[in-house]
Chains A and B, each alone.
Chain A
Amino acid sequence: MTLLFAALLTGLGLGAMYGLIALGFQITHSVCSRVNFAQGSMVMLGAVLGYVLTQRAGLPVILAYPLALLGCAAMGVIVEFCLIRPFAIRGNDGWLMATVAGGILLDNAVLFTFGNEPRSLPSPLVETSWQILGTGVYPQQVLIPLVAIAVAFALQMLFRRTRQGRALLAVVQNPEAARLMGINTTVMISGSFALSSMLAGAAGLLIAPLFSVHSDMGTLFGIKAFAVAILGGMTSAWGVMIAGFLYGLVEALVTTFLGSSYTYIVVFGLLIAVLAIKPSGLFGAAKLRKV
């Protein structure tokens, strides 16, 4: 019972974080069918900037974290401009590899500037744990799913209620018509990458107090989040969030009841099995083929 409860807690917290990062994949994929494979590095960047701004520059969290997110957004814009747009214009798939290389570059640049030892980002929410059902939970762990769900809602509001949000939806649903409405799709695509990187950065800030801050902390999160985005089908935000929770729970349950040795084998095996049955993901809509 305690085991199961502990696994559920772990799974929900991590799953929410995967979902948050995966939302970033989903947004850019919807807008321009491309993703930033350096998304994991954006997670790291958020945490590193958060650490540098609070611990080294001594800024208060209320100021530092928004600044860190802005930094991530700026990096997202740079990635889109330098590593995605040049290839998108030529219509080739080079962006895929270019963003991977960009991730390597960013990780190493941080290694040489931030330093090569893991650091800890303090948070008052990990100082004491609540004891429930024989196991403990940090407030931070509860915060992550709450933030993730709040972000998903906020995004929904942003898309449905604001002018720019609707313009983004318009680009997703019909890019050419959106251009005819006078929507600057270039700016919208750029903006979607900024948003995507901000989400990853937010995930980094959220997970850092439970983990540690170092230059390659994001790589694995990025890959898992990509798996989540694919599992969710890349089309709906809620689909991706649910897939995130599912992934987190399965991962935690396998680790708890089979041992961590089998986590990757079982989780990725299940992923292939699901995609074999539903090639466009759990919640993805297959498009009608036309000629």
Chain B
Amino acid sequence: MRLTDTRLLDLAILALTAAALAGLGLVGGYTQFVFGLVAIWTILCTGLNVLFGLTGLVSLGQVGFFAIGAYAHAILMQAGLSFWLALPLGTLLAAAVGCLLAVPAVRMAGPFLAMVTIAFAFIVEHLAIEWRGLTGGQNGLMGFDAPSLLGMTFGERELVMLAIVLAGLLLFGYRRLTASGWGMAMAALRDQEIAASSLGFNPFLTKLSAFAIAAGAAGLAGGLFASLMQFIAPSNFTLSQSILFLFAVILGGAGTVLGPVVGGAIVVFLPEALSGMAEYRLLVFGALLIAVMLIAPRGVVGTIAAYLPRRERGARACDQETVLHYISPETPHPLTVTDLGITFGGVKAVAGASFTAAPGEVTSVIGPNGAGKTTLLNMISGFYTPGSGRIETAGTEIAGWPMHATSRLGVARTFQATRLFGSLGAEANVISAFPKGRFGAPFATLANGDRRALALGLLELVGFTGNPATPAADLPHVDRRLVEIARALALRPHVLLLDEPAAGLMHADKMTLAALLRRIADLGIAVVLVEHDMDMVMGISDRILAMDAGVPIAFDTPESIRANPQVIAAYLGEGTLKAPPRTLAFEPGAMDTLITRDLRAGYGAADVLQGLNIRVRRGELVALLGANGAGKSTFLKVLSGLLAPSSGQVLMNDAYVQGLAPHRMVEHGLALVPEGRQVFPELTVAQNIELGAYRRKARPAPEELESILRRFPRLRDRLDTPAGLLSGGEQQMMAIARGLMASPKLLLLDEPSLGLAPAMTEELYRILAELRDDGITILLVDQMATLALAVADRGYVLEQGRVVAEGSAEELRRDTALIEAYLGQGEARDDGPTEDWQAEAAQ
């Protein structure tokens, strides 16, 4: 038998329980009593660990359930019921109340949930005070018969033993629960609620069960507490007690199996150790708690576990034949969408969308940013409730179904910004989809041999080559996309919705992905693809739905779409847009405004920027080009100080500025006009623009605002309008005006034309040309490569965090092969929802 982590844990639980039982024989009456308290705390905190550690829900009301369990037990026993009946009945009552409280509580998060649980604790405490006939009021209840079993009467020692055994069983139960479908549902919900629903997990039921388990455990602890103390009163059940319970879980290590024992032991023993300090006890206690939390934020067990080696049984992938057989739908079904529409705050995001995605075919949805593509997927998958129209598949009308219901029916999806369960490994992410949201038996291991083999096989199918145990949060971007597709396939869907799966992928990876999607479709799955990469779309699609501004403009074969004049005008028409070039050639001055040397940076495991050397001369307009995920946004983040570089240097006007905080970068004369405009929606346009000058020593003169308004005449009439109410184009103008207000030495523009109508894009570029001609130094990142090169003096092309080409704009413009290979046309942004702005504008 090999020792794996789970086996070791089981052994540890067994050893702890046995040691505690054996230790009872050695200690005096009082220490025995304290052992009993620790066991009771362990029971309660293990339940709370399910709620807080596993499901991520904060409850400050556990003391309420503790009280309910204790009072129910005490009252039933005083009514003559046997201990062995009163204990489970108290537990059940507490669990039932937990379910009741969960009904309002599951809809809330953060402080709102905390408040509801606090309120609950207060209500229970005061009911115990006021319901004197039942609870004995403030004086409480005392004197409960000792339980007996098989003729043996339970003294305090036997009772403590019972508590220890129950605590051991609960710990073991927790360990098994985490490995089961239930635990998976809870962990999934904690990491990514939206993705959890997309795999069929019912958020309401999952949270409800977590609440019920936590409440039941608290109730059980309460019953034992009443019998052990032989006395209960409302003052045992105050809010501060509840806070201590949560403290114990955090101190021990939330989400770890043994955390509750350690936390419980600390919280019970520490005051004992400090009891000689009498009135100073709370002072020392408070200070110690803060110290532990600062030094070991993951809790004692979590901190120790981080240093221990991991031991897991390996598994082997099953062969591809089995995998393909597994994911082939038994009976293929088409997806039919009829006249679908939705409105956000008066703005029609999608109207009249109709198409049919046939099984075995790839149906693509294309359109410029803001066309409503993702919104369409959101309605089909049940994330949004459509305002009108019908969605039919597998002979069922599913419009308005919640996401977990559509996915159980067989409609799987991926997300534009991947939504994996960050704390789980790639393999576990895939396994999470197998049960289709069913919890299964509470203690049955979800990751059994067959499922693991299948999960590894699926990962192999999608071309994942990384370590399947690496937590998803640490995976590189490309791998995250692949794991998400594998996870969606593990649901055995008959409809697969993919939202920009190729974004951020290299050309070669895109080709592999295209082949994979084709293969998936050939199995009889109806694949619906939202994608910007035209080569890929045209290459693998059977039918294409083209949309513009929420309205479908064509649904046809790729050939017809390519020839459709309306589609060309709306989407592929960049070539017709014009931007004014310099009239006189740029004369480089004496100084460089910006130099970066071997700049590397990233978000964790791997560096996104692989040593960038970029130079911008004073008065120059430099274009930075590259596909999605090439590292352009990361580069701008480093320059603006939002992200610290891992190595390399940034020089601005002869000062090293790498790693400075954003406000210091602004002082050095750098202004970034961020992607997606990032306006302050509730401030007026004038206030927004003024904030641009925040770091300047002197308040800007009114003439300055005036001169900026001359550049952006559209803004003049809107000065007192809240910025959130402006159109996308107006917001972009305002964001640039705001950047200019800082009178920057270098203006960075991130995707300024994103989501703008063609006419607006042209106007924007005219303004950029004016700024350039007025001598402002600009570094421009834009998806419209040819347009950007038209106004630029020089350009750089990035791929995978490296410069692959640089030169004058003229040279780069001529090199059409280069542009084709690295840029494609009509690219979108790296990640993040492209339709944000629309939803925001609608609010």
User: Do B118 and A265 touch across chains, with their CB atoms under 8 A apart?
Assistant: no
Closest Cβ–Cβ distance, residue A261 to chain B (whole Å) = 5
> CA separation between A184 and B694, bound complex, in Å?
10
User: Do B662 and A279 touch across chains, with their CB atoms under 8 A apart?
Assistant: no
User: Do A94 and B250 touch across chains, with their CB atoms under 8 A apart?
Assistant: yes
User: Do B742 and A182 touch across chains, with their CB atoms under 8 A apart?
Assistant: yes
Q: Which of B41-49, B391-399, B404-412, B666-674 contacts A (4 or more CB under 8 A)?
A: B666-674
User: Do A271 and B286 touch across chains, with their CB atoms under 8 A apart?
Assistant: no
Q: Which residues 242-258 of B have a CB within 8 angstroms of A?
A: 243, 246-247, 250
> CA separation between A93 and B110, bound complex, in Å?
10
Q: B115: nearest residue on chain A (CB-CB)?
A: A230
Closest Cβ–Cβ distance, residue B406 to chain A (whole Å) = 14
User: Do A290 and B674 touch across chains, with their CB atoms under 8 A apart?
Assistant: no
Q: Which of B573-581, B675-683, B805-813 contacts A (4 or more CB under 8 A)?
A: B675-683
Cβ-based interface call for B415 (8 A): yes
User: Do B289 and A87 touch across chains, with their CB atoms under 8 A apart?
Assistant: no
User: Do B836 and A290 touch across chains, with their CB atoms under 8 A apart?
Assistant: yes
Residues on B with C-beta less than 8 A from A90 are 297
For the residues of A in contact with B, the DSSP-based class is: helix
Q: Which of B123-131, B354-362, B776-784 contacts A (4 or more CB under 8 A)?
A: B123-131
What sequence of 0s and 1s flags, for each residue 633-676 of chain B, a beta carbon within 8 Å of any chain A beta carbon? 00000001110000000000000000001110111000110100
Q: Which residues 557-594 of B have a CB within 8 angstroms of A?
A: none
Cβ-based interface call for A183 (8 A): yes
User: Do B115 and A275 touch across chains, with their CB atoms under 8 A apart?
Assistant: yes
Closest Cβ–Cβ distance, residue B98 to chain A (whole Å) = 14
What sequence of 0s and 1s flags, for each residue 32-59 of chain A, a beta carbon within 8 Å of any chain B beta carbon? 0101000000000000000000000000
User: Do B663 and A179 touch across chains, with their CB atoms under 8 A apart?
Assistant: yes
Closest Cβ–Cβ distance, residue A84 to chain B (whole Å) = 11
User: Do A180 and B119 touch across chains, with their CB atoms under 8 A apart?
Assistant: no
Closest Cβ–Cβ distance, residue A250 to chain B (whole Å) = 13
User: Do A179 and B833 touch across chains, with their CB atoms under 8 A apart?
Assistant: no
User: Do A94 and B115 touch across chains, with their CB atoms under 8 A apart?
Assistant: no
User: Do A272 and B116 touch across chains, with their CB atoms under 8 A apart?
Assistant: yes
Closest Cβ–Cβ distance, residue A118 to chain B (whole Å) = 17
Residues on B with C-beta less than 8 A from A170 are 680, 683, 691
Q: A90: nearest residue on chain B (CB-CB)?
A: B297
Number of interface residues of A (CB under 8 A): 63
Q: A169: nearest residue on chain B (CB-CB)?
A: B683
Residues on B with C-beta less than 8 A from A264 are 122-123, 125-126
Q: B288: nearest residue on chain A (CB-CB)?
A: A101
Closest Cβ–Cβ distance, residue B45 to chain A (whole Å) = 14
What sequence of 0s and 1s flags, for each residue 156-179 of chain A, a beta carbon within 8 Å of any chain B beta carbon? 000000010011011001101111
> CA separation between A112 and B62, bound complex, in Å?
31
Cβ-based interface call for A203 (8 A): no
Residues on B with C-beta less than 8 A from A174 are 678-681
Residues on A with C-beta less than 8 A from B383 are 289, 291
Closest Cβ–Cβ distance, residue B471 to chain A (whole Å) = 15
Q: Which residues 674-711 of B have a CB within 8 angstroms of A?
A: 674, 678-683, 687, 690-692, 694-695
Q: B378: nearest residue on chain A (CB-CB)?
A: A291
Contacts known (A105-B286, A108-B282); A290 close to B115, Cβ less than 8 A: no
> CA separation between A276 and B116, bound complex, in Å?
9
Closest Cβ–Cβ distance, residue B668 to chain A (whole Å) = 10
Residues on A with C-beta less than 8 A from B416 are 291
Contacts known (A97-B293, A265-B130); A182 close to B680, Cβ less than 8 A: no
User: Do A181 and B691 touch across chains, with their CB atoms under 8 A apart?
Assistant: yes
Cβ-based interface call for A83 (8 A): yes
Residues on B with C-beta less than 8 A from A176 are 642, 674, 678
Cβ-based interface call for A245 (8 A): no
User: Do A179 and B662 touch across chains, with their CB atoms under 8 A apart?
Assistant: yes
Closest Cβ–Cβ distance, residue B666 to chain A (whole Å) = 3
User: Do B283 and A112 touch across chains, with their CB atoms under 8 A apart?
Assistant: yes
User: Do A94 and B293 touch across chains, with their CB atoms under 8 A apart?
Assistant: yes
Residues on A with C-beta less than 8 A from B107 are 276, 279
Cβ-based interface call for A212 (8 A): no
Cβ-based interface call for B344 (8 A): yes
User: Do B111 and A181 touch across chains, with their CB atoms under 8 A apart?
Assistant: no
User: Do A223 and B118 touch across chains, with their CB atoms under 8 A apart?
Assistant: yes
Q: A226: nearest residue on chain B (CB-CB)?
A: B115
Residues on A with C-beta less than 8 A from B8 are none
Residues on B with C-beta less than 8 A from A82 are 290
User: Do B286 and A93 touch across chains, with their CB atoms under 8 A apart?
Assistant: no
Closest Cβ–Cβ distance, residue A173 to chain B (whole Å) = 4
Looking at the complex, which one of B286, B297, B843 makes contact with A92 (CB distance below 8 Å)? B297
Closest Cβ–Cβ distance, residue A126 to chain B (whole Å) = 30
Cβ-based interface call for B839 (8 A): yes
User: Do B282 and A265 touch across chains, with their CB atoms under 8 A apart?
Assistant: no
Cβ-based interface call for B58 (8 A): yes
Closest Cβ–Cβ distance, residue A251 to chain B (whole Å) = 13
Q: Which residues 271-318 of B have a CB within 8 angstroms of A?
A: 279-280, 282-283, 285-287, 289-290, 293-294, 297
User: Do B678 and A177 touch across chains, with their CB atoms under 8 A apart?
Assistant: yes
Residues on B with C-beta less than 8 A from A226 are 111, 115, 118
Cβ-based interface call for A124 (8 A): no
User: Do B666 and A181 touch across chains, with their CB atoms under 8 A apart?
Assistant: yes
> CA separation between A93 and B279, bound complex, in Å?
30
Contacts known (A94-B250, A167-B694, A182-B695); A280 close to B112, Cβ less than 8 A: yes
Cβ-based interface call for A109 (8 A): yes
Contacts known (A180-B678, A272-B120, A291-B416); A279 close to B108, Cβ less than 8 A: yes
User: Do B123 and A268 touch across chains, with their CB atoms under 8 A apart?
Assistant: yes
User: Do A234 and B111 touch across chains, with their CB atoms under 8 A apart?
Assistant: yes
User: Do B417 and A271 touch across chains, with their CB atoms under 8 A apart?
Assistant: no
Q: A281: nearest residue on chain B (CB-CB)?
A: B112
Contacts known (A101-B290, A112-B283, A265-B123); A182 close to B674, Cβ less than 8 A: no
User: Do B691 and A166 touch across chains, with their CB atoms under 8 A apart?
Assistant: yes
Q: Which residues 57-87 of A have a CB within 8 angstroms of B?
A: 82-83, 86-87
User: Do B126 and A291 touch across chains, with their CB atoms under 8 A apart?
Assistant: no
CB pairs A–B below 8 angstroms (25 shown): A87-B297, A93-B58, A98-B290, A98-B294, A101-B247, A102-B286, A105-B286, A167-B691, A173-B681, A173-B682, A174-B681, A177-B680, A178-B691, A181-B742, A183-B694, A186-B661, A226-B118, A230-B115, A264-B122, A265-B127, A272-B104, A275-B104, A275-B115, A279-B108, A290-B833
A residues contacting B by CB (< 8 A) are 29, 33, 35, 82-83, 86-87, 90, 92-94, 96-98, 100-102, 104-105, 108-109, 111-112, 163, 166-167, 169-170, 173-174, 176-184, 186, 223, 226-227, 229-230, 234, 261-262, 264-265, 268-269, 271-272, 275-276, 279-281, 288-291
With A97-B243, A180-B678, A226-B111 known, 19 other A-B pairs at CB within 8 A are A33-B110, A35-B111, A90-B297, A101-B289, A109-B283, A170-B680, A173-B682, A173-B683, A176-B642, A176-B678, A180-B662, A180-B666, A183-B663, A261-B129, A261-B130, A264-B125, A275-B104, A279-B108, A291-B417
